[in-house]
Homo-oligomer: A and B are copies of this chain.
């Protein structure tokens, strides 16, 4: 008999919820028309897209015309950053400035770096040893050319929850005190505040008002929804240019035939995960505590918990540093051989670089620790709807056989 595998990589990808899948089916082979078509079949498609848009907007507490469906979270991040910078340059700001942190997702970091090729500039604010960004450091980086501040709500690697509300406050204070000395472009409302909230909806409220943001990225693949679909919610006062043109879809902000089944699925997935949020948060918080406690008892010396303070992170993430001289990549491979699927860093960095984690490195740099050995030996365990206490017990057994 084939042994059951333990999947603890829900932060990288979630399975499509079967109820969500069912909601998508009618729009694949039957009601398949192009929502841009004039005929009845097109009207049906247009209507379900409008319904899905309204549903998503309600959950974010924005207007439905403020929801832009994209091909995924990465595209949404690209649209937010490139789109705002492009528009700012059109408006005559030759060197737009962006503020972000040094532990953002690669979709943010690389897009920001690219902006510097186009005459823009970026401040990568270092986070503290806890992984949290200090709003005072954001405040210190603000300047008249700043068009955008982008801070991820929940970090992809370590699950830490950033103080978005406090950051929104320092941005608002800057606008209030510098309004008259700001550039001629202050009537455009710069700087805007964007958050990549892809890792958040399963566990946190995602209403715009709670965080005071102007733009928010969401991703279907993280919320038990379909792949290839994301959202960029954009408050209507935000001046932004599209990155994909030709066809006028999504109010001209994202051209291309609407992916009707995926849009329907995204709305269904977001609705369902919001319904399950409280119960799942409580359940996973229990598993998180259980796992951390057992890790501490089992490995008092050679394992440390990166996100030890549960209150500062989402309940589905336990990231550990293994101090036995083995590289994270090897640890993940050995755990995999024992039936445990977990991750070294976030999946999106595996392909490009990483035998080490730039996120953990940022934490170590901030901590002034002399050890600095966790950046290449940290493992992320991320839980989800399928995770049970038994999964964690099996993981602890596997870890015991690897970590002497």
Contact = CB atoms under 8 A, between A and B. Distances in A.
Interface string A1-42: 000010101001111111001000000111011101111111
Interface stretch (A66-74, A121-129, A170-178, A285-293): A66-74
Contact of A348 (B16, B42, B247, B348): B247
Identical copies in the complex: 2
Interface stretch (A147-155, A187-195, A231-239, A254-262): A254-262
20 contacts: A7-B33, A9-B39, A12-B36, A13-B257, A18-B29, A36-B347, A38-B332, A38-B333, A39-B343, A71-B75, A71-B256, A72-B256, A73-B257, A74-B256, A78-B246, A110-B245, A227-B259, A228-B259, A248-B351, A257-B347
Contacts of A344: 38
A179 to B, nearest CB: 30
Contact of A32 (B13, B114, B262): B13
A246 B74 contact: yes
B30 A13 contact: no
A111 B245 contact: yes
Given A246-B110, A246-B111, A247-B348, A343 B257 contact: no
Interface residues of A, number: 80
A107 interface: yes
User: Which among A244, A332, A349 has the highest number of chain B CB atoms within 10 Å?
Assistant: A244
Given A33-B12, A257-B13, A341-B33, A105 B246 contact: yes
Contacts of A244: 74-75, 78, 243
User: Which among A117, A249, A255, A333 has the highest number of chain B CB atoms within 10 Å?
Assistant: A255
B262 A228 contact: yes
A106 B247 contact: yes
Given A16-B29, A32-B15, A38 B262 contact: no
A115 to B, nearest CB: 11
A264 to B, nearest CB: 11
Contacts of A336: 38-40
Interface in A188-218: none
Contacts of A36: 12, 347-348, 350-351
A245 B114 contact: yes
User: Which among A12, A110, A111 has the highest number of chain B CB atoms within 10 Å?
Assistant: A12
Interface in A316-347: 329, 332-333, 335-336, 340-344, 347
Contacts of A348: 36, 246-248, 257
Interface string A360-385: 00000000000000000000000000
A236 B341 CA distance: 35
